[in-house]
Structure 1
Amino acid sequence: MTSEHITLYFKQGGSDKVYNASLEEVKDNRFVVNFAYGRRGATLTTGTKTNTPLDYDSAKKIYAKLVKSKTSKGYVPGAEGPQYVHTDADTRDTGVQCQLLNFIEEAEAERLIKAPDWWAQEKYDGKRMLLRKTETVTAINRQGLSVDAPDAIITSAGSIDQSYLVDGEAVGDTLFVFDLLAIDGTDLRSAPYGQRLAQLEILGFGEAVVVAETAKTPREKQQFYDRLRASGAEGIVFKQHVAPYTTGRPNSGGTQVKFKFYATASVVVTQINAKRSVAVAVLDGEQSIEIGNVTIPPNKDIPAVNAIIEVRYLYAYPGGSLYQPTYLGPRDDLHVQDCVIAQLKYKS
């Protein structure tokens, strides 16, 4: 009775995906079935099919069923293409850092709507993605690592003759860009945001790269805010239009801030429970604070211990758990250090 592993690939049209499945012995002839999946060359999302270690025969049945389910959908072993090779983060480090935003409360959002020196854009419910175009187009995540991106985005980004560096949020096969950091070798990060945005709006990307809509006057911002909230959008971002692009996250406030219409949190999985539930925690300094359990829907894979996931919730109890948490999905673009207790919204 030994461990087993298989790497499967699926390539069709714009899809180029990899799926790793493994049957692993953990101790005393007890086995787990783990998996990892995603676009080829990107950071893979990990999870498990076994809540607790099982005997070999039981785990083998789960492993065989998992492999069969993937091959029946068109996945094939590695002979169909180059095998996925994991690369360490430092070998993919682009040296690019992005500006990170602090959250604000509703009262502050209402103040910024009326402030003439602040503009507003939608806070998209996707993943942060920068694009750097030189001879080729490189997609970069919020950690500064080169990552895979949908073919439609790469194709649209390559349709522009100039070299550039833009910042945005990827939602499915569309990238919503909201900042221009460099153009034809000129670094624009020290220029006012209004100037950067004006140059971004005239670049003329293809259809899969869209410049974010911007509301500028108090009236436009109020109408924009009301429309976003009514449509079920995730939130709104406010930006001081005379401010430069500042990498990293300030200790508080900042020249760009965000307000969410509903509460979400990035949390760490600490334990896999029975009945498709996982225990989650956040960090308070160096201390891990348990904040309850989250049910994983039947159509979703159970995330592994130490995985980072996103959950939506109504509110948090001070010193206690999240109320009515809902699993949204994995967050493979974040570090554990991003899962801080300060992001929680408490019942008033």
Structure 2
Amino acid sequence: MTATMEETKTTSLYYREGSSDKEYHVRLEAKDNGFVVNIAYGRRGSTLSTGTKTHSPVYYDAALLIFERLVREKRAKGYTTGPTGTPYQHTEQAAQVSGLLPQLLNPIEETEVLQLIADPRWAMQEKMDGKRLLLRKEGHRIEGINKKGLVVGVPATVIKTASELGGDFVLDGECIGDHLHAFDLLFLNGEDLRAKSYHHRYVLLLNLLASGLPKHIRIVGCFIDPLDKTSWLHTFKRQKAEGIVFKRLDSPYTPGRPNSGGSQLKHKFVATLSAVVAKVNTQRSVQLRLLNHEGWQIVGNVAIPPNHSIPGVGAIVEVRYLYAYPDGSLFQPVYLGERSDVGVEECVVSQLQFKRVTEDDV
């Protein structure tokens, strides 16, 4: 695998605001039999810190995804390619950067679910099957923010309901159809609540939504008693809910996703994944691919229902499935729709859930 000049990529980004004057350099280059992504960063004019985002050489496609993700993340924080480092808050791009990021959850297995149900320090909620959405209201301005921290559209019904609620706030929830299912309150009338405990934030959320009796903003129930959690677990499974979420009652709100564990955890009853469309087939179906350490891996096809438009090559889509075969292909995949809030770098084979081997399979 030999690099060409076209495959070697370098980007220099700069940021200047107030007393901050920083630079960030990222370079994709060949090494041994693969490619690496190296970085250098620090205050402009000083000795820069260096590092790598690839501890060993990877295939070019994988390195390119890492390179592009780093550039996107820095641009979202206000870095630009111009050496003046002027943040683009006053451009059309800046309108898409909210300055807020949601807290993301790591998955847990069934054995951990039983432990958390028995622990009254952890609250349990239904995992809503929608799109993650922060809803920010400041005066007459109301806007949505997706899981990438970018400003996105909000259903008119949700905006109308939010406008009828008093005060300024930032809600966290899942948008399903023309409703927002809220489960957290991050800001209220200018006060940043993220350092407060989840129990405190949830009580304030109850008070806020109860005051306006909102029609299109609903609160997600919260269960603490082990008996209640057990009962609702069975109810959610019977109702074929997507899953459940556990939140430590004394924990603050921490944007981003921890490397492992965390104060907010999720358990899905069904398997879902985000994949990239590799090919559009002739019979209203598309071929899917995921990224592994060697490049792209085909994981089968999924039919597109008549009520959905057919996504194009390169689109990121959400698929529900029963399990994956050993070769990675999906069993009984069901198309759920396109995802504009998921990056290509998230479409990896580690999402796959394989069929558990039982005595009957041996």
Alignment of 1:269-288 (within 5 A): 269-285=277-293, 287-288=295-296
- Contact 2:278 2:286 (C-alpha < 8 Å) held by counterparts: yes
Please identify, of 301-310 and 156-165, the stretch whose mean Cα deviation from structure 2 is larger: 156-165
1:208 correspondence with 2:213? no
Q: What pairs up with 1:38-187 in 2 under 5 angstroms?
A: 90-135=94-139, 136-187=141-192
CA distance in 1 between counterparts of 2:93 and 2:327 reads: 35
Q: Deviations over 1:175-204 (max 9, x none)?
A: 011111111111111111111111111003
Deviates more, 1:309-318 or 1:274-283: 274-283
Asked if 1:296 is matched to 2:304, the reply is yes
Q: Which residue of 1 aligns with 2:40?
A: none
* Contact in 2 for aligned 1:89/1:145 (Cα 8 Å): no
1:257: how far off? Answer: 0.9
Q: CA deviation at 1:289?
A: 2.1
| C-alpha deviation, 1:302, in angstroms | 1.4
**Shift in Å, 1:286:** 7.0
In structure 2, what is the equivalent of residue 347 of structure 1? 355
Shift of 1:279: 1.1
With over 3 angstroms needed to count, the CA separation of the structure-2 counterparts of 1:292 and 1:190, relative to structure 1, is: same
1:72 aligns to what?
A: none
What letter matches 2:228 in structure 1? E
Residue 315 of structure 1 is matched in structure 2 by 323
Distance 2:343 2:137 in 1: 26
2:10 corresponds to which residue? none
| 1:225-240 pair list within 5 angstroms | 225-240=233-248
Aligned to 1:253: 261
The one-letter code matched in structure 2 to 1:262 is V
Q: What TM-score, normalized to structure 1? A: 0.72
- Separation in 2, partners of 1:185, 1:211: 21
Q: Is the 8 A contact 1:271 1:305 kept in 2?
A: yes
* Post-superposition offset of 1:212: 0.8
After the TM superposition, which of the residue ranges 253-262 and 335-344 deviates more from structure 2?
A: 335-344
Q: Distance in 2 between matches of 1:232 and 1:180?
A: 27
For the residue of structure 2 that corresponds to 1:199, the secondary structure is: helix
Q: 1:171 Cα deviation (Å)? A: 0.8
Structure 1 segments unaligned to the other structure (5+ residues): 1-86
1:193-244 CA deviation, whole Å, 9 max, x = no partner?
Answer: 1111111110034111111101111111111111111011111111111111
Indicate the residue corresponding to 2:67 in structure 1: none
Contact 2:328–2:352, Cα closer than 8 Å, also in 1:
no
For residue 90 of structure 1, report the CA deviation from its aligned partner.
4.5
Aligned to 1:337: 345
Give every structure 1 segment of 4 or more consecutive aligned residues whose post-TM-superposition deviation is greater than 3 Å: 87-91
Of residues 198, 207, 216 in structure 1, which corresponds to 2:203? 198
AA of the residue aligned to 1:150: P
User: How many Å apart are 1:155 and its aligned residue?
Assistant: 1.2
CA distance in 1, matches of 2:93, 2:257: 21
Tell me how far apart the structure 2 counterparts of residues 332 and 175 of structure 1 sit (CA, whole Å).
18
Change (3 A) 1:222 1:89: farther
Shift of 1:140: 1.2
Q: Secondary structure at the match of 2:129?
A: coil
Please report how far the alpha carbon of residue 89 of structure 1 lies from its aligned counterpart in structure 2 after TM superposition: 5.1
Residue type of the alignment partner of 2:257: R
Q: Distance in 2 between matches of 1:346 and 1:240?
A: 29
Q: Aligned to 1:327, what secondary structure does the other structure show? A: strand
Q: C-alpha displacement at 1:161, in angstroms?
A: 2.2
Q: Is the 8 A contact 2:118 2:226 kept in 1?
A: yes
Give the letter aligned to residue 116 of structure 2.
L
Flag structure 2 segments of 5+ consecutive residues without an equivalent: 1-90, 357-362
Shift of 1:88: 6.4
Task: Return the offset for 1:287.
Answer: 2.5
The amino acid that maps onto 1:294 is: V
The equivalent residue for 2:88 is none
C-alpha distance in structure 2 between counterparts of 1:346 and 1:88, whole Å: 44
Q: CA deviation at 1:143?
A: 1.3
What CA deviation, in whole Å up to 9, does each residue of 1:286-343 have, x standing for no partner?
Answer: 7322211112234432110010111111101233311111112111221112222222
CA distance in 2, matches of 1:258, 1:186: 28
In the alignment, which of 231, 234, 249 is matched to residue 241 of structure 1? 249
In the alignment of these two chains, the number of paired residues is: 262
